[in-house]
Amino acid sequence: MTCEKDKMIAGALYQLGDPQLVRDRARNQELQRRYNATIVSDQDLRTTVLDEWLGSRGTGCALRTPFYADYGYNIHLGDNVFFNYGCVVLDVCEVHIGDMAQIGPYVQILTADHPRDAASRDAGLEFGRAISIGRNVWIGGGALILPGVQIADDAIIGAGAVVTRDVAQGVTVAGNPARPLVPQASSH
Protein backbone atom coordinates (compact mmCIF):
# COMPACT_ATOMS: atom_id res chain seq x y z
CA MET A 1 0.00 0.00 0.00
CA THR A 2 1.69 3.12 -1.18
CA CYS A 3 -0.86 5.86 -0.66
CA GLU A 4 -2.78 6.92 2.44
CA LYS A 5 -6.14 6.35 0.71
CA ASP A 6 -5.28 2.69 0.05
CA LYS A 7 -4.15 2.29 3.66
CA MET A 8 -7.37 3.90 4.90
CA ILE A 9 -9.68 1.69 2.85
CA ALA A 10 -7.70 -1.44 3.84
CA GLY A 11 -8.10 -0.63 7.55
CA ALA A 12 -4.41 0.12 8.14
CA LEU A 13 -3.08 3.14 10.03
CA TYR A 14 -3.15 6.22 7.78
CA GLN A 15 -2.58 9.97 7.96
CA LEU A 16 -5.90 11.84 8.00
CA GLY A 17 -4.21 15.04 6.79
CA ASP A 18 -2.95 13.46 3.56
CA PRO A 19 -3.60 15.94 0.68
CA GLN A 20 -5.50 13.39 -1.42
CA LEU A 21 -7.81 12.55 1.49
CA VAL A 22 -8.35 16.26 2.20
CA ARG A 23 -9.39 16.70 -1.48
CA ASP A 24 -11.65 13.62 -1.26
CA ARG A 25 -13.38 15.00 1.85
CA ALA A 26 -13.86 18.38 0.15
CA ARG A 27 -15.41 16.61 -2.87
CA ASN A 28 -17.64 14.66 -0.49
CA GLN A 29 -18.76 17.84 1.27
CA GLU A 30 -19.72 19.43 -2.04
CA LEU A 31 -21.77 16.39 -3.11
CA GLN A 32 -23.27 16.14 0.38
CA ARG A 33 -24.30 19.81 0.25
CA ARG A 34 -25.87 19.34 -3.20
CA TYR A 35 -27.78 16.23 -2.09
CA ASN A 36 -28.93 17.71 1.22
CA ALA A 37 -30.33 20.76 -0.60
CA THR A 38 -32.82 18.54 -2.46
CA ILE A 39 -36.34 17.46 -1.58
CA VAL A 40 -38.09 14.19 -2.38
CA SER A 41 -39.58 15.56 -5.62
CA ASP A 42 -36.06 16.32 -6.95
CA GLN A 43 -35.68 12.65 -7.87
CA ASP A 44 -33.66 13.17 -11.08
CA LEU A 45 -31.18 15.47 -9.32
CA ARG A 46 -30.94 13.11 -6.34
CA THR A 47 -30.20 10.18 -8.65
CA THR A 48 -27.47 12.14 -10.44
CA VAL A 49 -25.80 13.20 -7.19
CA LEU A 50 -26.01 9.73 -5.61
CA ASP A 51 -24.49 8.14 -8.72
CA GLU A 52 -21.55 10.55 -8.47
CA TRP A 53 -21.27 10.37 -4.67
CA LEU A 54 -21.70 6.75 -3.56
CA GLY A 55 -19.48 3.78 -4.40
CA SER A 56 -22.48 1.83 -5.70
CA ARG A 57 -26.20 1.54 -5.19
CA GLY A 58 -28.99 -0.65 -6.39
CA THR A 59 -32.38 0.44 -7.64
CA GLY A 60 -35.09 1.95 -5.49
CA CYS A 61 -32.82 3.38 -2.77
CA ALA A 62 -34.18 6.29 -0.72
CA LEU A 63 -31.95 8.46 1.44
CA ARG A 64 -33.82 11.14 3.38
CA THR A 65 -32.01 14.40 3.90
CA PRO A 66 -29.93 15.34 5.67
CA PHE A 67 -27.54 12.46 5.05
CA TYR A 68 -23.88 12.68 6.09
CA ALA A 69 -20.76 10.75 5.07
CA ASP A 70 -16.98 11.12 5.25
CA TYR A 71 -16.22 10.14 1.66
CA GLY A 72 -19.28 8.53 0.08
CA TYR A 73 -17.27 6.35 -2.30
CA ASN A 74 -16.93 3.59 0.30
CA ILE A 75 -20.72 3.22 0.68
CA HIS A 76 -22.30 0.33 -1.26
CA LEU A 77 -26.08 -0.13 -1.15
CA GLY A 78 -28.21 -2.99 -2.43
CA ASP A 79 -31.68 -2.59 -3.93
CA ASN A 80 -34.43 -0.75 -2.05
CA VAL A 81 -32.27 0.42 0.86
CA PHE A 82 -33.96 3.12 2.95
CA PHE A 83 -32.26 5.69 5.20
CA ASN A 84 -34.47 7.93 7.31
CA TYR A 85 -33.57 11.52 8.30
CA GLY A 86 -30.25 12.54 9.84
CA CYS A 87 -28.15 9.42 9.31
CA VAL A 88 -24.35 9.48 9.48
CA VAL A 89 -22.04 7.00 7.72
CA LEU A 90 -18.36 7.48 8.54
CA ASP A 91 -17.03 5.49 5.61
CA VAL A 92 -13.24 5.49 5.93
CA CYS A 93 -13.57 1.77 5.15
CA GLU A 94 -16.22 0.09 3.05
CA VAL A 95 -19.81 -0.11 4.24
CA HIS A 96 -21.96 -2.72 2.48
CA ILE A 97 -25.71 -2.68 3.08
CA GLY A 98 -27.90 -5.42 1.63
CA ASP A 99 -31.18 -5.27 -0.25
CA MET A 100 -34.28 -4.08 1.61
CA ALA A 101 -32.36 -2.82 4.67
CA GLN A 102 -34.23 -0.11 6.57
CA ILE A 103 -32.23 2.39 8.58
CA GLY A 104 -34.10 4.54 11.13
CA PRO A 105 -33.55 8.25 11.78
CA TYR A 106 -30.27 9.43 13.30
CA VAL A 107 -28.56 6.06 12.96
CA GLN A 108 -24.76 6.26 12.91
CA ILE A 109 -22.69 3.69 11.02
CA LEU A 110 -19.08 4.28 12.08
CA THR A 111 -16.13 2.55 10.41
CA ALA A 112 -13.67 5.18 11.70
CA ASP A 113 -11.57 4.31 14.73
CA HIS A 114 -8.51 5.66 16.55
CA PRO A 115 -5.37 4.01 17.91
CA ARG A 116 -5.48 3.18 21.60
CA ASP A 117 -1.94 4.43 22.20
CA ALA A 118 -1.50 8.18 22.67
CA ALA A 119 1.69 8.41 20.57
CA SER A 120 -0.10 7.16 17.43
CA ARG A 121 -2.98 9.56 18.00
CA ASP A 122 -0.47 12.40 18.54
CA ALA A 123 1.11 11.47 15.20
CA GLY A 124 -2.26 12.01 13.47
CA LEU A 125 -2.81 8.36 12.68
CA GLU A 126 -6.24 6.81 12.35
CA PHE A 127 -7.66 3.53 11.06
CA GLY A 128 -11.01 1.96 10.38
CA ARG A 129 -12.79 -1.36 10.09
CA ALA A 130 -15.36 -2.23 7.43
CA ILE A 131 -19.03 -2.76 8.30
CA SER A 132 -21.45 -5.14 6.61
CA ILE A 133 -25.22 -5.01 7.06
CA GLY A 134 -27.20 -7.86 5.53
CA ARG A 135 -30.41 -8.14 3.56
CA ASN A 136 -33.72 -7.14 5.16
CA VAL A 137 -32.09 -5.73 8.30
CA TRP A 138 -34.06 -3.17 10.30
CA ILE A 139 -32.08 -0.68 12.39
CA GLY A 140 -34.13 1.41 14.82
CA GLY A 141 -33.68 5.15 15.28
CA GLY A 142 -30.59 6.45 17.02
CA ALA A 143 -28.67 3.16 16.93
CA LEU A 144 -24.88 3.19 16.72
CA ILE A 145 -23.09 0.57 14.63
CA LEU A 146 -19.43 0.52 15.66
CA PRO A 147 -16.32 -0.28 13.55
CA GLY A 148 -15.95 -3.81 12.23
CA VAL A 149 -19.49 -4.98 13.04
CA GLN A 150 -21.16 -7.51 10.74
CA ILE A 151 -24.97 -7.71 10.90
CA ALA A 152 -26.43 -10.78 9.21
CA ASP A 153 -29.62 -10.99 7.13
CA ASP A 154 -33.02 -10.42 8.76
CA ALA A 155 -31.58 -9.07 12.03
CA ILE A 156 -33.27 -6.28 14.00
CA ILE A 157 -31.35 -3.61 15.88
CA GLY A 158 -33.42 -1.88 18.57
CA ALA A 159 -33.71 1.89 18.71
CA GLY A 160 -30.80 3.45 20.56
CA ALA A 161 -28.75 0.25 20.58
CA VAL A 162 -24.96 0.46 20.62
CA VAL A 163 -23.82 -2.46 18.47
CA THR A 164 -20.28 -3.43 19.44
CA ARG A 165 -20.29 -7.06 18.22
CA ASP A 166 -21.53 -9.04 15.23
CA VAL A 167 -25.25 -9.86 15.07
CA ALA A 168 -26.34 -13.29 13.79
CA GLN A 169 -29.02 -13.92 11.18
CA GLY A 170 -32.55 -13.21 12.37
CA VAL A 171 -31.48 -12.10 15.85
CA THR A 172 -32.94 -9.02 17.57
CA VAL A 173 -30.54 -7.00 19.72
CA ALA A 174 -31.09 -3.95 21.91
CA GLY A 175 -29.36 -1.98 24.66
CA ASN A 176 -25.93 -0.58 25.41
CA PRO A 177 -24.00 -2.62 24.64
CA ALA A 178 -26.49 -4.38 22.37
CA ARG A 179 -27.39 -7.91 23.45
CA PRO A 180 -29.80 -10.45 22.00
CA LEU A 181 -33.33 -10.19 23.35
CA VAL A 182 -34.67 -13.38 24.88
CA PRO A 183 -38.14 -14.28 23.56
CA GLN A 184 -40.82 -14.24 26.26
CA ALA A 185 -42.71 -17.48 26.89
CA SER A 186 -46.41 -17.17 26.11
CA SER A 187 -48.77 -17.20 29.09
CA HIS A 188 -51.63 -19.18 27.56
CATH number at residue 38: 2.160.10.10
Domain range holding 15? 4-178
The answer to whether 114 is a known catalytic residue is: yes
> Would you say residue 75 lies in a domain?
yes
User: Can you list the positions of beta strands (E) in the chain?
Assistant: 14-15, 56-57, 62-63, 67-69, 75-77, 82-83, 87-90, 95-97, 102-103, 108-110, 112-113, 125-128, 131-133, 138-139, 144-145, 150-151, 156-157, 162-163, 172-174, 179-180
Instruction: Count structural domains, the chain.
Output: 1
Q: What is the pTM of this model?
A: 0.94
Contacts of 96 (CB under 8 A, 6+ apart): 76, 130, 131, 132, 133
Catalytic residue among 76, 96, 114, 188, which?
A: 114
At 2, the pLDDT band (50, 70, 90 cuts) reads: confident
> Would you say residue 185 lies in a domain?
no
| 92-118 pLDDT, tens digit each | 999 999 999 999 999 999 999 999 999
Residue pair 121/115 in contact (Cβ under 8 Å)? The answer is yes
